[in-house]
Amino acid sequence: MNARAEHPDFWNDPQKAQALMRERNRLEAAMTAIQEIEQELSDTLELAEMAEAEGDDDMIDEADAVLKRLKDKAARAELEALLSGEADANDAYLEIHPGAGGTESQDWASMLARMYTRWGNARGFKVEVIEEQPGDEAGIKSVTLLFKGENAY
């Protein structure tokens, strides 16, 4: 990829060039994450062996907690690796429209929009309200949210 990016004709097709650069950045980030997991795993296993040799139960518990965290981190990295389809890296739109039920359903739609906004922010996505139509008394009649970030779709 780097050799293709250095070719003089690379930027003649800007869309293709940007897509290739995004893919390169995604692959570099995945490789960095895997290398960090491997290094942290190696360090933790060494710590666990030392703790076991010394009979230090607190250090063993700490190593166990780190290993559980690393397992979760590796599972997330595996999921990221599986999300390599054409649309997977795109941003995502979410529209919420309350059903029948009047004020209560509009209020529920508002709570749902707030929940998804917080979920997106917690996952590292930038969440924008594209359009929002307030309800008559409370809540919302409709809202369109845009989730921006890697693999938001």
Q: So what's the pLDDT on residue 87?
A: 66
Q: How far is it, in rounded angstroms, from Cα 149 to Cα 92?
A: 9
What is the pLDDT, as a whole number, of residue 110? Answer: 92
Task: Give the whole-angstrom CA distance, residue 148 versus residue 129.
Answer: 11
- Residue 106: Cβ within 10 Å count: 22
What pLDDT does residue 96 have? 93
Query: pLDDT averaged over consecutive 10-residue blocks of the chain (153 residues)?
Result: 73 81 82 92 91 89 91 86 71 90 88 95 93 88 91 74
Q: Is 139 exposed, middle or buried (0-12, 13-18, 19+ CB in 10 A)?
A: buried
| Domains, the chain | 2-82 (1.20.58.410), 92-148 (3.30.70.1660)
Alpha helix positions (H), the chain: 2-6, 14-54, 57-82, 103-122
pLDDT at 41: 93
Question: Six-digit token pair at 117?
Answer: 């906004």
Provide the β-strand partners of residue 144: 95, 131
